Structure 1
Amino acid sequence: MEPGFGWMVFTALVGESVAIYGLLKSANQWYYVSRLGREQYPLPPGDMGWPLIGNMWSFLFAFKYGDPDSFISNMVARFGRTGIYKAYMFGSPSIIVTLPETCKQVLMDDERFKSGWPKSTNELMGRKSFLGFSGEEHKLLRRLTAAPINGHKALSMYHEYIKEVTINSFDELAKANRPIEFLIEVKKITFKIIMHTFLGSEVDPMMKTLEEEYANLNNGLRAIAINLPGFAFYKALKARKKLVKILQAVVDGRRARKSSNLSETQQDDGVVNGC
């Protein structure tokens, strides 16, 4: 093969790669922005990212490596300090605002700006969760669920349990004779107390399973909604099914005991006893 021909092939491959790269990078821009018409819908500067994925790779990368501000800093460096940018986030065309005044306007104007969540979050949390309601419906649901544990009198029933769990947990950590991540350990203690408060002592034997599955569920809330093995959303959906199965068994057991007039102390029953 002649050297000249080899360079021609190499140049053609490089040119083709650049063309494909440019085409893919422009696909979202053409599809979502160009069809709106500039005169009718003037949009802020920004980058719509890759097809389907959008800007999520750089967004998740910034959070994973502990530098979330770098995502916005990159926008500012590329498009100027405008305070508002277009992007493609969580499977939808999005507008990102960064100025305090603009953020305040968006967050406080319930008539023109409705609260919403990514598809992955809605599917994992459910349509009837707190996230699925707004306004008066949200306030009503919050009052109904928070009433049993609001106030000093309600929480005083769990004081001894909270004290016991906290002391025992710190004793175990002290005996471990190894470095610990304090925030993670405190989260575990808090999770154990919350589960006991809402579900009662019968979930104590399965606390580790609940903790692991909840962690898997939480990891999928901000992930891209790709339901394929290896993705966080896929793992979160499996965790949700396991958690629903466990919680449903607890609720069914409470209802069965209640119908059979089998009473337990209010502290041991937990909040779910009111179901």
Structure 2
Amino acid sequence: MLHVGLCLVALFVVSITHWVYKWRNLKCNGTLPPGSMGWPLLGETLQFIAPSHTLDTSAFIKNRIKRYGSIFRTSLFGSRVIVSTDSELSYMVFQQEGRSFESWYPPSFRKVLGNQSLAFMHGGLLETVATRNMERWVSQETTELKTAVADMIYEFMGKKMISYDPVEKPSENLRENYEAFVRGLYSFPLEIPGTAYYKCLQGRKKVMMMLKNMLEERQAKPNEVQNDFFDYVIEELKKNDTTLTEEISLDLIFGLLFANHESTSQAITLAIKFLTDNPRALKELAEEHELILKKREKPEAGLTWEEYKSMTFTFQIINETLRLGNIAPVAFSKALTDIKFKDYTIPSGWVVMVCSPAVHLDPVNYKDPLKFNPWRWEGMELKGSSKTFMVFGGAQRYCVGADLARLQMAIFLHCLVTKYWWQPIKGGDIVRTPALQFPNGFHVQFFEKDKQQ
């Protein structure tokens, strides 16, 4: 019996040794980029998600660039990954979407985002919502900006998409459940009570249940029209030849609300932080918007499309904020075939992680890359993407909500600098995990502009 036990132990040790050897010595029809796969299964995930207290490219990425160059291999979230900080490879990945590459997310991401993950609407309502919220902020001694802006975005998007009103249903707080979801999105996928990932899944579960209940309530009242996305969903689900399912529609809504929560609210908060620290930029921004008001025949009229398109310096502010902020720090794609790039081979089935901060903060691409300098965009393309500017992806992977995000930021800044001024109270520290976060918030006090500054 002892011999049998020893044989089993020996077999187990040999199997594990063989598995670890295969993990570290990968086969490839060519030359793999250099790098380390870390520990089996765990890979280098913990190093990747370690907090970084700077806007600069994370230490995880910078250290490996020094050691291996602009393209290297690793293992993240249980998958074999080629990390690209090379602008040419990153651009190629976006351009070859649907041919050599396809969009991909780690299994843990797919589980919390939903397997089916559009944007529409424009200005008047958002301007009204922004103004109403700022009027309320003025009455407060301090406002935690990230939370306040996120609430404002939910008020706007929630009403347009699902007729959600947090005032009518205070117990159904979408934003709070999304906060729990966001905090655990870039965490190691351990589905154990108490872990960040478990809380993330619980946050998603609660939001999805709320959305499902809202949809069912609307389906029970077929003659009640709200002129929102749910109306479209209900009509489409009635068709016999529809490809839309309830699961797809709820995942789409979940994804759109998540994208606005993270991207737009983070970007607006960051823009105000940058403007707070740069009086010259704030002055020029205010002058651009005051000129818009002066040119109006009716000063009380709302923003027009022509006025929006005239906001040249505003778009410079937005581009520079997005370049420095890197709100979406990584993008994943899976290779559909063996791909040769320079001296390396990306094997079929491997994942390429495009690391946009390494491109946007490269001194070769931008002088003094960590400096907030909106004037660097003078005379340059202010929309779209390029090899050195891919904050919204590119080609088929270009973010469908990019124009909406720019519009929201521009309208918010217009309302802010034409009617209010502010002073920082506390917070404003930034941490990346790798997503951008304000761990201590960013607390400011707002004042009406006609009152003495």
The one-character-per-residue Cα deviations of 1:202-254 (angstroms, maximum 9, x if unpaired) are 55434662101112222333322210122222111111111111111111111
The one-character-per-residue Cα deviations of 1:62-91 (angstroms, maximum 9, x if unpaired) are 446654432221102333xx3210111121
Post-superposition shift, 1:183? 4.2
Q: Considering fraction of residues, name the structure with more strand.
A: 2
- Partners of 2:215 and 2:167 lie apart in 1 by 15
Give the aligned partner of residue 77 of structure 1: 66
- Partners of 2:219 and 2:72 lie apart in 1 by 52
User: How many residue pairs get matched?
Assistant: 215
Give the aligned partner of residue 205 of structure 2: 241
Q: How does 1:89-238 map to 2 (within 5 A)?
A: 89-110=76-97, 111-127=99-115, 129-130=116-117, 142=118, 146=119, 149-150=120-121, 155=122, 159-160=124-125, 162-178=126-142, 180-201=143-164, 204-206=167-169, 209-238=173-202
Post-superposition shift, 1:93? 1.4
- Partners of 2:164 and 2:141 lie apart in 1 by 29
Is 2:23 the counterpart of 1:32? yes
Amino acid at match of 2:190: I
Q: For the structure 1 residues 209 and 201, does the alpha-carbon distance in structure 2 shift closer, same or farther, using more than 3 Å as the test?
A: closer
Asked if the contact 1:29–1:48 (Cα under 8 Å) also holds between the matched residues in 2, the reply is no
Post-superposition shift, 1:200? 0.8
- Partners of 1:27 and 1:49 lie apart in 2 by 16
Larger Rg: 1
CA RMSD of aligned residues (A): 2.8
Post-superposition shift, 1:165? 3.1
- Partners of 1:265 and 1:84 lie apart in 2 by 50
Asked if the contact 1:59–1:68 (Cα under 8 Å) also holds between the matched residues in 2, the reply is no
- Partners of 1:168 and 1:62 lie apart in 2 by 36
Asked if the contact 1:91–1:224 (Cα under 8 Å) also holds between the matched residues in 2, the reply is no
Q: Considering fraction of residues, name the structure with more helix.
A: 1
Post-superposition shift, 1:27? 9.6
- Partners of 1:64 and 1:248 lie apart in 2 by 38
Give the aligned partner of residue 137 of structure 1: none
Give the aligned partner of residue 273 of structure 1: 231
Q: Percent identity?
A: 24
Q: For the structure 1 residues 95 and 28, does the alpha-carbon distance in structure 2 shift closer, same or farther, using more than 3 Å as the test?
A: farther
Secondary structure, in 3 states, of the residue corresponding to 1:87?
strand
Post-superposition shift, 1:109? 1.5
What is the TM-score of this pair, normalised by structure 1? 0.68
Q: Which runs of 5+ in 1 are unaligned?
A: 1-25, 131-141
Post-superposition shift, 1:265? 5.2
Give the aligned partner of residue 251 of structure 1: 215
Post-superposition shift, 1:103? 1.2
Higher RCO (CA 8 Å, separation ≥ 6 residues):
2
Q: Which runs of 5+ in 2 are unaligned?
A: 1-16, 235-453
Asked if the contact 1:45–1:85 (Cα under 8 Å) also holds between the matched residues in 2, the reply is yes
